[in-house]
Chain A
């Protein structure tokens, strides 16, 4: 009598499918309810389109090195937006629009390279530190603390001096300086997971450390790392732009947003009749960076809000 009564009246939707997938769908739904997320995603997609379709949107005059901005003439003074240069030109007549489009490809290259490499390093080191613990853990964390003690920009400058200028250095430097963040996140997740009963069960049934690590521990810990990674892309590009702005990144004429902003330092104030004459120079490249970073930050914020366990089931 009792079991029949139980099942008929209770109207619960029985979820079908893999629980991991259901969680994912739930997260996606929550994610997109937030208008800020949508704005962030739209912004990022916009830049993705710019980056992917760069060859079509802005055909490079020099196919073997598309990142060199085209310039018609050698006149130093920048020209305002016109039919020929829709967004105006930088000093020495580099087309701003071209720079913006190819700059997004450049930004993505830098951002993804750094973040991907950091994720890898973070996963490896974080797993070692978190899973095996003990003295390995202590060593890794102490070294991470030391890296944390020095502000990134300053250290980046020092390293770039040591390694030589150029975008390659910038990327390498950013990878080197960002690894503690990822390592810490992965490590703390692993510390939580490591003590769970299903790990103990796996050990009891004779699984090797490596197998446990790959099959059980990592899949559960990787989420946070991905969240941190998504939040970090914006900051990484910002620092890379700052380094370029200071002159430590790419050479002049290269389609790098930071470098483009650097060129406007002499043109902040226009001639007395029109003191805002070079507004496009000051405003546009920097605005592109701001928009790009804003998009990633919005997304990262929303992602974090969705996955924050305290706010998840509200």
Chain B
């Protein structure tokens, strides 16, 4: 299987009033093409921070302080990949929502209460597929102009078409320029001499400064009545939104498009959030505990939906959860995280049948079994605070198999058997 995205030794810190919270302690995750990858762990272990670092939307006061996030989205990138931590913010903005999308836990608060559903879903189309929307609008206008029409209306439509054409032309030249810049950046990606670094900075800055809008169009958009011409394009977008909602199983999409988030049920809201994420057919969908707040029946629906979509619209899914049962059901591979460290990574079957890391073993042991009659198993102790985390392996204070070296140095993630990685001194130097 081909790699799709990977993080290499990611360190993310939060600089708070009470001290520096070392949230990620060298996290390395690899997601392959076409697979569903699970990220499991207790609350506060850093799962959300990991994916937010991957998308570079870590909230202040957090900062990514070290490591790489490499993507292999295009066929040409297979050999090398692009380290997106070194790219400009505009590059990230174009990635987010287009190639990588994210859905969240609480759908009701994830939607803006004062904007309509149609507007919010339409934004995805307007940010990333505007050229396509403009083209379709122009085509529609051409068709209408070909028919016989009263001359004043004809004039209005012609003006609309002209303005859209102008916007499209500027947009196209902008995109061409961006492509050129990105291409050159890719060429010199791995060159780190002074000249290359300087060139990279220049290119990134230029990329950020490019204006993708025509001045005339922007000016007219702010004009009170003339700006109404934009409504034509809104109609096109609306068509796409309705279609998208229908394909996701939302009943009465025409009415839903005009309604507001608070008028919908929890399951429906989550579908809208998924719609927003899928509008542009992302390569990677990151799902941050999307079902944790829903009823079990709705949860099943959403999970089915995601499974279905994986076959049709998306390539890979990165699923974050603390529910091991869910992992068993839908994930191909999974990683177990603890306090900012990756403990173990393997195929799901391997994790359940052959857990190597003491933490994973403890987790699996603590799941109550049907025939269990005695006390529930727990892992003694509590999750440590991350301002002053335990040294070495962060699990060592609670580990039943703790050795001296565990508190001294952090264990590296090594491939114990093909495809099964574990970060534990029990499995180094020929132990076990």
| Chain A residues proximal to chain B, CB less than 8 Å | 1-3, 5-6, 8-12, 313-314
Say whether A10 contacts B380, CB under 8 Å: no
Of chain B, the residue at the smallest CB distance from A6 is B381
In the bound assembly, the distance between CA atoms of A314 and B384 in angstroms comes to 19
Instruction: List the A side residues contacting B384 at CB < 8 Å.
Output: 10
A9–B397 alpha-carbon span in the complex (Å) = 6
In the assembly, what is the distance between CA of A9 and CA of B388, in Å? 11
Enumerate chain A residues within 8 angstroms of B390, measured Cβ to Cβ: 9-10
Within B406-426, which residues are at the interface with A (CB < 8 Å)? 407
Chain B window 367-402, contacts with chain A (Cβ cutoff 8 Å), 1 for yes, 0 for no: 000000000000011101100101000001110101
Report chain A residues within 8 Å CB of B397.
5-6, 8-10
| B112 interface residue (CB < 8 Å to A) | no
Whether A12 contacts B385 in the complex (CB less than 8 A), given A5-B398, A314-B16, comes out as yes
Contact of B402 among A3, A5, A6, A314 (CB under 8 A): A5
Does residue B219 face the partner (Cβ distance < 8 Å to A)?
A: no
Which one of A1, A12, A314 lies within 8 Å of B17 (CB-CB)?
A: A314
**Chain B residues positioned under 8 Å from A8 (CB to CB):** 397
23 residue pairs from A and B, CB less than 8 Å apart? A1-B400, A2-B380, A2-B398, A5-B380, A5-B381, A5-B397, A5-B398, A5-B402, A6-B380, A6-B381, A6-B382, A6-B397, A8-B397, A9-B390, A9-B397, A9-B407, A10-B384, A10-B390, A10-B397, A313-B17, A313-B18, A314-B16, A314-B17
CB neighbours of A5 from chain B (8 A)? 380-381, 397-398, 402
> What is the predominant secondary structure among interface residues of chain B facing chain A?
loop
- Minimum C-beta distance from A271 to chain B (A): 53
Contacts of B16 in A (CB 8 A): 314
* Complex: chain A residue closest to B388, CB-CB: A11
Say yes or no: A3-B380 contact (C-beta < 8 A), given A12-B385, A314-B16, A314-B17. yes
Q: Shortest 3 CB-CB distances between A and B: which pairs?
A: A2-B380, A9-B397, A6-B381
Query: Contact: A2 with B388, CB < 8 Å?
Result: no
Task: Kindly provide the distance from the CB of B414 to the nearest chain A CB, expressed in whole angstroms.
Answer: 25
Q: Which residues of B contact A313 (CB under 8 A)?
A: 17-18
**Closest partner residue, chain B, to A33 (CB atom):** B17
Contact status A6-B385, CB under 8 Å: no
Tell me the bound Cα distance from A3 to B18 in angstroms: 27
- B382 CB contacts on chain A under 8 angstroms: 6
Residues of the B chain whose Cβ atoms lie less than 8 Å from the Cβ of A11: 388
Q: Which residue of B lies closest to A12 (CB)?
A: B385
Binary contact readout B96-109 vs A (1 if CB under 8 angstroms, 0 otherwise): 00000000000000
Chain B nearest CB from A239 CB (Å) reads 37
Chain B nearest CB, measured from A158 CB (Å): 41
Distance in Å: Cβ of B409 to nearest Cβ of chain A? 15
Q: What separation, in Å, do the CA atoms of A313 and B382 have in the docked complex?
A: 21
CB of B18 to closest CB in A, whole Å: 8
With CB as the reference atom, state the residue of chain A lying closest to B380.
Answer: A2
Least CB separation from B385: chain A residue: A12
* Minimum distance in angstroms from B28 CB to a CB of chain A: 25
Closest to A314 in B: B17
A33–B216 Cα distance when bound, in Å, is 50
Measured CA separation A2–B377 after assembly (Å): 13
A3 to chain B, nearest CB (A): 7
Other A-B contacts than A10-B397, A313-B18, 15 sampled, CB-CB below 8 A, are: A1-B400, A2-B380, A2-B381, A5-B402, A6-B380, A6-B397, A8-B397, A9-B396, A9-B397, A10-B384, A12-B385, A12-B388, A313-B17, A314-B16, A314-B17
Bound together, the chains give a CA A10 to CA B385 distance in angstroms of: 9
Looking at A2, A8, A9, A12, which has the most chain B CB atoms within 10 Å of its CB?
A9
In the assembled complex, the Cα of A11 lies from the Cα of B16 at a distance in Å of 19
Interface residues of B in 271-320 (CB under 8 A from A): none
B21 to chain A, nearest CB (A): 12
Closest to B384 in A: A10
Chain A hits for B381, CB < 8 A? 2, 5-6
Q: Which residue of the partner chain B has the closest CB to A30?
A: B17
Q: Point out the residues of chain A lying under 8 angstroms from B402, CB to CB.
A: 5
A3 to B16, CA, bound (A): 30
A10-B388 Cα distance, complex, nearest whole Å: 9
Q: What is the bound-complex CA distance between A12 and B384, given in angstroms?
A: 10
> Min CB distance, B15 to chain A, in Å?
11
A6 with B398: CB separation less than 8 A: yes
Residues of A within 8 A of B17 (CB): 313-314
Query: A11–B388 Cα gap in the complex (Å)?
Result: 7
Nearest chain-B residue to A5 (Cβ)?
B397
CB distance from B19 to the nearest CB of A (A): 12
A15 → chain B closest CB, angstroms: 13
CA distance A11 to B17 in the complex (A): 18
Measured between alpha carbons, how far is A1 from B400 in the docked complex, in Å?
A: 9
Chain B residues within an 8 Å CB radius of A1: 400
- Inter-chain CA distance A43–B339, complex, in Å, is 47
- Please indicate the chain A residues that have their CB under 8 angstroms from the CB of B385 in the complex: 12
